[in-house]
Amino acid sequence: MVVNLTPNEILIICLVALIALGPKQLPETARKIAKGFGQLRRQSSQLRAEFTSVVDQAVEESHDQELLRRAKETDSCASQDPNPRDLQ
């Protein structure tokens, strides 16, 4: 999630925060906000990794099932092929 803020917008946000919170609470509040964003980013990464793992596993299982289906088809076709000696 990328937020495109101009330097002027950032300055206005900082000034409003300074006025609203005061110079004593501003650093602590900024740390809490940064910590929250860090946790959100880590959880997002973990969720993305878990989702990718589940999708990869499903694709692999699907591929395995397709290989088994083809092997069974090959076996059934091989059992239906006439014996070359019978053709003579």
Provide the whole-model pTM.
0.52
Q: Is residue 71 part of a domain?
A: yes
At position 83, the amino acid (one-letter code) is N
pLDDT digits (tens, 9 = 90+) for 39-87: 999 999 999 999 999 999 988 988 888 888 888 888 777 666 555 565 5
Q: Is residue 50 part of a domain?
A: yes
Q: Is residue 46 part of a domain?
A: yes
Q: Is residue 53 part of a domain?
A: yes
Q: Is residue 12 part of a domain?
A: no
Domain that holds residue 45: 27-75
Number of folded domains in the chain?
1
Q: Is residue 60 part of a domain?
A: yes
Does pLDDT of 1 surpass 70?
no
Identify each DSSP E strand in 1-88 by its residue range: none
Give the span between the Cα atoms of 63 and 65, in whole angstroms. 5
